[in-house]
Amino acid sequence: MPAISFQSVSKTYSTSRGSFQALDGVSFDIEEGEFFGLLGPNGAGKTTLISILAGLVRASAGKVLVRGHDVQADYAQARRQLGVVPQELVFDPFFTVREALRIQSGYFGVKNNDAWIDELLTSLGLADKANSNMRQLSGGMKRRVLVAQALVHRPPVIVLDEPTAGVDVELRQTLWQFIARLNKEGHAVLLTTHYLEEAEALCSRIAMLKTGRVVALERTSDLLKAASSNVLRFKVDGPLPPAFEGKARVTGRIVQLPAHDAHEIENYLAVIRQAGLRVEDVEIRKADLEDVFLDVMSEKGQEAVA
């Protein structure tokens, strides 16, 4: 039985300006013990899909099961299986960190949970903030509390909606170590993030959403294999010739170009030299998930994966 099963999920929001379709027939399964990445640009529908999973938003069509429990028909059972870290920072300012975690435990009917709460606090670098009020915490610390809250009842399925947004480098590493450990112990993880190097390092399988449709769904290693194998990266002292339009990714003076082989790389450099431009700091690297992502989002936009 899959940890999560999305079955033809669609969502249409009604707004004052008419209706808006945020999800259009999304179907895929996440297996028990899997570390799964859900990627997509802003507005693709990731949070909408997670909100439907968490029972916070109703799907317009389709079904979502958590370990066999329908999130609508069998809400309480489905919700108990899930630990959800929301994208938005929502918290009650009147409680201390420890009180908030005790209340959350009570909500799930877990008693005498202090040993696990202490482990969560330590693992997430919050031990010295246990007795601070929520409103006294910085943004990154509040996000850590949200992670702790989601895990307080040891859910078999962990859902993280951009857990590292606004979180410093050190905690990101601590957080990933901790989540990776839980995953090793058998917890399934569904992660959304805009840090694609995190997704590449952590997720064994990835789905990409674009305007509410699944446009890629593969093992991470297969996604990387399918990408054009190399990227030519260099600095240039003027605007690129028109031939590069739509091919090159330009950030200030830095240019990155997908290239399949040495011949293609030589050609690119020759065209640039003929245009009278000077290149510096030339580098050839393997394509990474960010290259694949940009590729998928630009080309495959219209044709969705079945």
Ligand X SMILES: Nc1ncnc2c1ncn2[C@@H]1O[C@H](COP(=O)(O)OP(=O)(O)OP(=O)(O)O)[C@@H](O)[C@H]1O
Residues in contact with ligand X by CB under 6 A are 13, 15, 20, 22, 40, 42-48, 87
Minimum CB distance to ligand X smaller for 121 or for 167: 167
- The least CB distance from residue 16 to Mg ion, in Å, is 22
Beta pairing partners, 258: 231
Tell me which of Mg ion, ligand X, none is bound by residue 43, counting a contact when its beta carbon lies within the kind-specific cut-off of 5 to 8 angstroms. ligand X
Residue 211: CB minimum distance to ligand X, A: 8
- Residue 112, phi-psi category: left (phi > 0), alpha (psi -120 to 50), beta (remainder): left
Provide the token pair at 214. 């699944």
Q: In sequence order, what are the beta bridge partners of 175?
A: none
Phi, psi of 32 (to 5 degrees): -55, 135
Q: Indicate the residue among 47 and 123 with the shorter CB distance to Mg ion.
A: 47
Contact between 176 and 198 under an 8 Å Cβ cutoff? The reply is: yes
Work out how close the CB of 4 gets to Mg ion at its nearest, in angstroms, rounded to a whole number: 17
Question: DSSP assignment of 178-228, as one string?
Answer: HHHHHHHTT-EEEEE-S-HHHHHHH-SEEEEEETTEEEEEEEHHHHHHHS-
Report residue 296 as tokens: 């998928």
The pairing of beta strand 205-210 with beta strand 230-236: unpaired
Nearer to Mg ion among residue 47 and residue 105 (C-beta): 47
User: Which residue in this structure is represented by tokens 């031939």?
Assistant: 243
Smaller CB distance to ligand X: residue 21 or 228? Answer: 21
Shortest separation between residue 29's beta carbon and ligand X, angstroms: 20
Interface map 68-107 toward Mg ion (x if CB under 5 A)? -------------------x--------------------
Query: Least distance in Å: CB of 212 to ligand X?
Result: 7
Counting every residue written for the chain, the total comes to 306
Distance CA 259, CA 266 (A): 10
| 47 contacts Mg ion (rule: CB under 5 A) | yes
Nearer to ligand X, 42 or 112 (CB): 42
Helices and strands, counts by H and E, the chain? 10, 14
Pick between residue 120 and residue 158 the one whose CB is nearest to Mg ion. Answer: 158
CB 59 to ligand X: min, Å:
13
220 binds Mg ion (CB under 5 A): no
Q: Which residue is nearest to Mg ion (CB)?
A: 47
Q: CA–CA separation, 201 vs 217, rounded Å?
A: 17
Residues near Mg ion (CB under 5 A): 46-47, 87
